[in-house]
Structure 1
Amino acid sequence: MSTTTSHTPESEGPSRPARLIQNESTTEIPVHLLFRDDPDPVSVPLRPAVVARRQGMGEQPRLRRPAPARPSPVIEVDPALGERPARVLPGAVGVFAGACGLAGGVATSWWAGVLPPLAVHALGLPRYAGAGLGPAQWAVYATAGALALFGFGGLARGRTGRAWVLGLFGRYRGTVRRTGLMWVNPLVLRRRVDVRLRHWRSEAMPAADASGVALRVVALVVWRVRDTARATLGVEDHETYLRACVEAALARVPVETPGSGRCSGDGSGERLTRLVAADAAPVGLEVFAVQPLRVEYAPEVAAAMHRRRIAALDAQHRASVLTSVVDSVEDTVTRLTMRGLVELDDYERKALVKDLTVAFCAGRGEAGR
């Protein structure tokens, strides 16, 4: 019995099927392709993943791009609200209309025969028995009275530095900046506005320095009304609004502490002016300067900061005295040795320096008292 055994070389093993990775939604990929060494791989640009919102599920996307920085909110007033000149007539027109109304009333009274004889004689009118008061006379009376009321009731006097904001039935009708006697429709509502250059000295307002220490600041604000329509109709009270703008600016801008040696109106004043001017411009106010006049510590920290200030001044004084004593001792020892008056070794030099330092410090202490 012969048994035939076939020897197969190790290198020639039985052929096995290539291992495959299978996926539900992909084709079969050989395993060796996943770990292939590519000497020059080709870079494939990748796009940022975008996850779409599922309809009807109310879910938000998981990956979101950073939203751009939003600018600071800008105060906006009605763009249609702006100062424009109002239509007015010279004052002579109103005087003439009122005089005509009075003359019509007097003539109607003479026509009706109700004018007193003394007035007839004073006016030089002829004697007339009169037709009596009838519908025609009453109609002329009403017309003459309305003419006189409109003529004299619409007279107004414009002053330098003052303006009139006119409104009719809740609607802005214009601004009058004219001076002298003029005639304005008596049915319109008039609001007087001061348009002169004004300055306002505030009360002590809360503020803080660069370190966050509480302060009280009295500021001087130089301003004027530039747009009367926005200042009167765009805000309830423009003076109260300006005060709130100054208070808000003081809360954002650090103010120099008292006794810091720097002028508090140089840096902080410019920043305060820019902030207040930007906040007040939309309501028709023009701010020229906001300067801190008086800066002091708040009552709750005033005592502590006063003690700290005294301690700093005392330390500064002691440092200056010590520097002066050291300079005096050095100058004395140098002169003694340079002129050959004494010959000192290291031990004697140290002893001399010590004695001179004590003597000079004692002398300065007695002189300071």
Structure 2
Amino acid sequence: MTTTTSPTPESEGHARPARLIQNEATTEIPVHLLFRDDPGPVSVPLKPAVVARRQGTGEQPRLRKSDQITPRPAPDPELAERPARVLPGAVGVLAGTCGVAGCAVTSWWAGLLPRLALEALRVPAFAGAGLGPAQWAAYAGAGALGLFGFGGLARGRTGRAWVLGLFGRYRGTVRRTGLMWVNPLLLRRRVDVRLRHWRGEPMPAADASGVALRVVVLVVWRVRDTARATLGVDDHETYLRECVEAALARVPVEAPGSGRGSVDAAGEALTRLVAAETAPVGVEVFSVQPLRVEYAPEVAAAMHRRRIAALDAQHRSTVLTSVVDSVEDTVTRLTMRGLVELDDYERKALVKDLTVAFCAGRGEQGA
């Protein structure tokens, strides 16, 4: 007996070309690797990329969690408020006075003081040697001393600060009050660090159902870090306004009378969100509260009619409930006291008549 064996796939594997499974969402995987008998490890290089969308299926690309959340950039550690070096104002006054006195002495030395000035100062006349190199050098030194002395005088006020810079580099912040001397070569930027209130204009918003609203908010804030508020952004007030607008676009605000949420809850959510967004730029936000919430002009008429219809339906429901309770109470009292004996037909007729009478009476009262 002759046994014929059919060729196995293993014997023909060397003659067949390797087939591949390939599409837009997977990498190239040889088919023979999916049916290997040996338990050896198989390493298939996979790209750690986002799975692409398949054409014709309508499937959206699936993003990893790390791709969906964009981390907030950390503030520059070098851009932090620090006190600047200033001197008392008396130093500047003394230096300026010395400069002016030096110029006067140099003029007397050169013989340029008029006779009236000499008589007023009771200084003996001096012929002088004229304006030479020594006199010009003395003029330059005394003039520079006077300019630096009087030019660096500044007056600090309560609730105001100066951000100092030199050649584009931050040099410190001055929060002192009174007369002081600041290097006149430094660029000064005045910043208001008092507690401030900002009432914005009507801004676009939406409720939980997506209905367009116009919201007026009151923001209580102050500048906490003058360096980041001045140098971290172009204009911290504009940045604050943009943060409030972005928060209103993300937090639903319910219109008054809707009954689906409170304005206080929306204010707390807005305060937390805006405070977190403005903290990296040195602005501290204490409160963001909606003052006036109204529907947008394009939907105001429709929402007004909807509100009136809802109030009318609520009124009708209240009236109907009151009428039913009155009819039930009347029929029950008449029956329990034995004033009337009613069968089912008569009871239904009495209930119908009482209902019509009570509804008519309530309608006349409402009118």
Q: Please, what TM-score do these two structures have when normalized by structure 1? A: 0.84
Cα gap change, 1:236 to 1:47, in 2 (>3 Å): farther
Aligned residues of 1:264 and 1:292 also touching (Cα < 8 A) = no
Residue in 2 aligned with 1:200?
198
Partner of 1:56: none
CA contact (8 A) 1:206 1:250 kept: yes
Matched, 1:99 2:86: no
Deviates more, 1:339-348 or 1:74-83: 74-83
Which residue number in structure 1 is paired with residue 55 of structure 2?
none
Matches of residues 1-369 of structure 1 in structure 2 within 5 Å?
A: 14-16=1-3, 18-21=5-8, 22-25=11-14, 50-51=44-45, 67-70=64-67, 71-261=69-259, 264-369=262-367
Summarize the Cα distance change of 1:321–1:89 in structure 2 as closer, same or farther, 3 Å threshold. Answer: same
Letter in 2 for 1:69: S
1:348 is matched by which residue type in structure 2?
Answer: E
Question: 1: distance between equivalents of 2:137 and 2:240?
Answer: 53
| 3-state SS of paired residue (2:263) | coil
Partners of 2:172 and 2:285 in 1: how far apart?
23
Q: Show structure 2 runs of 5+ residues with no match.
A: 16-37, 53-61
Q: 1:266: Cα distance to partner?
A: 2.1
On the 8 A contact 1:163/1:177 being kept in 2, the answer is: yes
Rate the CA distance shift 1:210–1:263 in 2: closer, same or farther, 3 A.
Answer: closer
Q: What residue number does 2:22 align with? A: none
Distance in 2 (CA, whole Å) between partners of 1:143 and 1:108 is 10
Whole-Å separation in 2 of the counterparts to 1:330 and 1:164:
79
**Alpha-carbon offset, residue 48 of structure 1:** 8.2
Deviation, structure 1 residue 268: 1.4
Give the CA deviation at 1:87. Answer: 1.0
C-alpha contact 1:86 1:175 (8 A) present in aligned 2: yes
Deviations 1:77-107, CA, capped at 9 Å, x for gaps: 4332121111111111101000000111111
Cα distance between partner residues in 1 of 2:74 and 2:297: 38
Q: CA RMSD in A?
A: 2.4
Aligned amino acid, residue 331 of structure 1: D
The structural deviation recorded for 1:327 is: 0.8
Separation (CA, whole Å) in 2 of partners of 1:337 and 1:245:
69
One-letter amino acid of the structure 2 residue matched with residue 132 of structure 1: G
AA partner of residue 365 (structure 1): G
Give the drift of 1:223: 1.0
Per-residue displacement from partner, 1:257-310 (whole Å, max 9, x unpaired)?
A: 222247643221121112211211121111111111110000000000000000
Instruction: State the distance in 1 between where 2:126 and 2:233 align.
Output: 61
| Pair member with larger Rg | 1
**Which residue identity is paired with 1:51?**
P
CA apart distance, 1:123: 2.1
SS at match of 1:69: helix
* Mean CA deviation greater in 200-209 or 119-128: 119-128
SS in 2 for 1:115: coil
2: distance between equivalents of 1:158 and 1:240?
26
Deviation at 1:119, TM superposition (A): 2.0
Structure 2 CA distance for aligned equivalents of residues 252 and 333 of structure 1: 56
Q: Cα distance, 1:164 vs. partner?
A: 0.4
Give the conservation status (yes or no) of the 8 Å contact 1:75–1:279.
Answer: no
Shift of 1:368: 1.2
Give, in angstroms, the shift of residue 174 of structure 1.
Answer: 1.0
104-113 vs 243-252, which moves further: 104-113
Q: Which amino acid letter does the alignment assign opposite residue 290 of structure 1?
A: V
| 1:114 Cα deviation after fit | 1.5
> Identity of aligned pairs, percent?
78
Cα distance between partner residues in 2 of 1:338 and 1:47: 90
* Structure 1: runs of 5 or more not aligned: 1-13, 27-43, 54-59
Match of 1:8 in 2: none
Count of aligned positions: 331
C-alpha distance after superposition, 1:44-64 (max 9, x if no partner): 9997862368xxxxxx99xxx
Matched residues in 2 for 1:47 and 1:163: separation? 68
Q: Following TM superposition, by how much is the alpha carbon of 1:68 offset from its aligned partner in structure 2, in angstroms?
A: 4.4
Separation in 1, partners of 2:260, 2:184: 57
Q: State the distance in 2 between where 1:264 and 1:157 align.
A: 48
TM-score by length of 2: 0.84
Distance 1:48 1:336, change over 3 A: farther
Q: Please give the secondary structure, in 2, of the residue aligned with 1:360.
A: helix
Residue identity matched to 2:215: V
For residue 256 of structure 2, give the secondary structure of its aligned residue in structure 1. coil
